[in-house]
Amino acid sequence: MIEVIYLAGGCFWGLEKLMQSIPGVKEAVSGYANGKAEIVPTYDSVCSGRTGYRETVRVEYDPERVSLDAILLLSLRSSM
């Protein structure tokens, strides 16, 4: 069984790379979430802070191999 969580934590490329290094994570992909539907997000427009979008990472993981708690703890530590 595969589970999915979306994480936001500063630089999405760094968070994506961290997630990809965790055994049990099947896929981690950077993207944007929660913005204004009429706006097509780009890195520069999102960084402007005017789009409503946030940098996020979609993480697919196998809960038999890695717990959600472990993923959240690692993502929290990476943002400190």
Q: How far apart are CA 57 and CA 34, in angstroms?
A: 13
71 within 8 A of 5, measured Cβ to Cβ: yes
Q: How far apart are CA 7 and CA 68, in angstroms?
A: 11
11: annotated active-site residue: yes
Selecting among 4, 11, 40, 76, the annotated active-site residue is 11
Just list the catalytic residues: 11
